[in-house]
Copies of this chain bind each other. A is one copy, B any other.
Amino acid sequence: MDILVIMLQLQRHPVAVVCILLCCVTQSTTMPDPKHREALMRQEEAMQTGGQQVLSAEEQRLGDRFQKLKQQEMSREDFPPAMHFFKARHLIRNSPIYSLLHDMPKGGALHVHDFSMVEVEWLVKNVTYRPHCYMCFTTGTGDDRSLRFVFSSGQPKPLPLCSPWSLLERLRAKMGNATDLDDSIIANLTLFTEKDPNVVYPSQDVVWKRFEQTFLVAWGLVTHAPVFRDYYHQGLMRFYEDNVMYLELRALLPETYELDGSTHDRAWDMKTYQDVTRQFTAQHPDFYGARVIFTVHRGMNASMVTTAVEEALRLQRDFPETMAGFDLVGREDTGRPLWYFREALSLPEERGLTLPYFFHAGETDTEGTEVDQNILDALLFNTSRIGHGFALIRHPLAREMSRKRGVAVEVCPISNQVLKLVADLRNHPAAVLFSEGHPVVISSDDPAQLGTSALSDDFYEAFVGFGGMRSHIGTLKELAMNSIKYSSLSQEQQQEALTLWQRKWDKFVSENSF
């Protein structure tokens, strides 16, 4: 029987095909049969992400264009995915393949943090120029020296370990030219730097410390209630403009405050997210919406997380449209492992309730440690997706569980590179997940801190970097569709979103397939 016939018959049964092909191969005579070889190559292609996509003639033409552009990109000496993103960014942004990926309807971004949606320049040039904005310098030297902000109608009360508060308006007036000050604020809000990133951030410890600092700098700005609302609206706009139509936001739902010092609780935050989302989708009917994954820091103790889970259940009851689930954030290597929180995480089921989990797990390159069990534990707690899952490929059992149950991995390539899990993005472990058609979505984690566009830079790294010459337009199509399929949306909503996406996709394909 012709091997190609077998393949066509068994296209939906890759495992069976593997067995058959392996048997054929072991009977090799003089030269390996080129047909067998071809069949094996085609089979490996069929197994990968996007390998089962049926493409129209138009899509194939666009696919050819993508492959030609990628070939050009791969033949450059300064190949961007092999470089640190901070050095590669201008090359990426100037590449024709980036323009196409920018225009491409990418579906949803499922792994993005609340206070990293908008480029930090907006915070500085817009937010810090608003009235009543105060700044202070933290004490400490070198990397520890940082900034804090607060909005206040009167002189705010002093902050421990910080200089006296200065009204920014007055400070800028005194300086005449505020450019240096603004640049210095910008530098404190993001990891992005023009200097050599490997010198500035020589280790994971250093880069994580600086990373967590940037959130503290932004804190006083973004938790001011009017800014909170504006920031989120701006954030939705950034994703929308980058051709992302849906968002799932990891949100800390912090205490927000007004000028007079009065504060709002989590329900207010949630209601604000809901209102702004409704308003935004009303104004932009081709944007499908956004949902919120409530997150707390994994440095918390067990009882604090129990309280947070209870809060999450209340929010879910009160905001079913917007509230998607629960997660723990912060650096895994120095935080508490999921198993430490097992009682808190079991609480919903004990009460007969369902709280979907979207756990960060395996954002580490240590192996065999307690933290390295997070992936398995995330799956044991029935996580809906795995955030990062960088270590998943080193856990064959967990990988199998994740695949069988359709638990998608949220792959954030640039974040993993900047936080020093991987240097050359061709070697990102998602290359292995791609090769097996493992359920994956691409996301951007922290655009503001990483200096990335909403989603296109990460799509570039995935497609041109670890996608290699093997990934193609079918891969891109599947990644976009995955972002809806593996979202927290209901079946009906997914169908609706998919229809909306398909319309955009068809338009994109017809406009670009020449």
Contact = CB atoms under 8 A, between A and B. Distances in A.
A180 interface: no
Interface stretch (A39-47, A90-98, A248-256, A439-447): A39-47
A447 to B, nearest CB: 24
A159 interface: no
Contacts of A423: 422-424
Contacts of A342: 31-32
Interface in A5-31: 18, 21-22, 25-26, 28-31
Contacts of A43: 397
A109 to B, nearest CB: 25
Given A380-B32, A423-B423, A22 B366 contact: no
A238 interface: no
Interface string A99-136: 00000000000000000000000000000000000000
Interface string A374-412: 001101111000000000011111101100110000000
A377 B435 contact: no
Interface in A423-442: 423-424, 426-427, 429, 431-432, 434-436
A421 B26 CA distance: 31
A321 interface: no
A431 B343 CA distance: 32
Contacts of A349: 29-31
Contacts of A29: 349
A496 interface: no
A372 interface: yes
Interface stretch (A222-230, A266-274, A468-476): A468-476
22 contacts: A25-B380, A26-B405, A28-B382, A30-B349, A31-B343, A31-B345, A31-B349, A32-B380, A41-B373, A43-B397, A44-B396, A47-B396, A77-B203, A365-B427, A366-B469, A367-B426, A369-B468, A394-B434, A394-B435, A395-B435, A421-B424, A423-B424
Given A367-B469, A394-B431, 7 more contacts: A26-B405, A31-B343, A44-B396, A77-B203, A365-B427, A395-B435, A432-B432
